[in-house]
Amino acid sequence: MKGLLILAWFSLAGCATTGEGDPRDPLEGLNRGVYKFNEKVDDFVARPVAEVYDDFVPREVRDRVRNFFGNLADPFIGVNNLLQGKATEAFDDWSRFLLNTTFGLLGIHDVATDLGLEKHNEDFGQTFGRWGAGTGPYLVLPIFGSSNLRDGVGLAADMVTDPLGEVSPNRARNALVASRAVQTRADLLGAGRILEQAALDKYVFQRDAYLQRRRSLVYDGRPPREKFE
């Protein structure tokens, strides 16, 4: 079934591509379609919910929620750091998890940062990039949004290793996954407003920002300088 979907995706993409496209985005026609669909979902569901959350939940509480989910992510951020050969960072991530889970009361307080252990941003897509995998074509995934072939595979690995996947019963797991999604979307409200303001073509602006951002993350904020022609 999944194979069929992917097949349908690529055959659709075949019809949708036009001549003068961006070489990084050969599936632009299809991607724009998915982008439009995602925008609708965002307009009618995701953003309104995130706005209510942002307006009615006090900032203090939102910070605790963000810390809680951030803490759950730290062990696998450590695994990814280790896979990228950064043992010191990995050790920091696991220390963060131990400190925050205990002294930080299940992670709602980020005591580790106050102790000088900085939070990192790692995932499997970045690990593959570090290992030398190219990005492949840019992809807009339904619901998840901007991605590319490499990061899409990475995302699948992130989901398999997601600690929330272990939670049972399913109802509790779904509630946690949904809360995390609302939290994540709420944190992006500011960025969304900036995108609305800044972009002539939102699709292009977001795509280029995503590609730049991921490149920077793969190199931990110090990518080799690209030449301005």
Partner 1 sequence: MKTLLLVLLSALVPSSLYAQGAAPDTLVKTVTLEVVELIAKDRDIKSGNRAKLISLIDEKVLPHFNFEAMTQLAMGQSWRKAAPEQKKRLVSEFKTLLVRTYASALSAYSDQKFDFRPLRAKPSDTDVTVQVRVLQQGAQAVPIDYSMEKTTAGWKVYDVMVGGVSLVANYRTEFNNVVRDSGIDGLIKSLDSKNRSLEAAKK
Residue ranges in contact with partner 1 by CB under 8 A:
20, 22, 63, 66-71, 110, 118-121, 187, 189-191, 193-194, 197-201, 204-205, 208-209, 212-213, 215-217, 221, 223, 226, 228-229
Is 134 strand, coil or helix?
Answer: coil
Closest CB 94 distance from partner 1, rounded Å: 16
Q: Scanning the structure block, which residue is given the tokens 């252990």?
A: 117
Closest CB 92 distance from partner 1, rounded Å: 12
User: In 10 A of CB 118, how many CB atoms?
Assistant: 10
Residue among 59 and 171 whose Cβ is closer to partner 1: 59
Q: Scanning the structure block, which residue is given the tokens 């999604």?
A: 181
Closest CB 179 distance from partner 1, rounded Å: 14
Closest CB 17 distance from partner 1, rounded Å: 16
Nearest to 49 by CA among 170, 145, 152, 188: 188
Closest CB 196 distance from partner 1, rounded Å: 8
Closest CB 83 distance from partner 1, rounded Å: 18
Residue among 113 and 161 whose Cβ is closer to partner 1: 113
Nearest to 88 by CA among 126, 113, 120, 110: 120
CA 114 to chain centre: 25
Residue among 38 and 206 whose Cβ is closer to partner 1: 206
CA 28 to chain centre: 20
Residue among 170 and 197 whose Cβ is closer to partner 1: 197
Closest CB 222 distance from partner 1, rounded Å: 9
Residue among 7 and 114 whose Cβ is closer to partner 1: 114
Residue 79 to residue 124: CA distance in whole angstroms: 9
Is 66 strand, coil or helix?
Answer: helix
The answer for residues whose C-beta is within 8 angstroms of residue 128's C-beta and 6 or more apart is 150, 153, 154
Q: Contact at 8 Å (CB) between 47 and 189?
A: yes
Residue among 144 and 203 whose Cβ is closer to partner 1: 203
CA atoms within 13 A on the CB side of 52: 7
Residue among 3 and 221 whose Cβ is closer to partner 1: 221
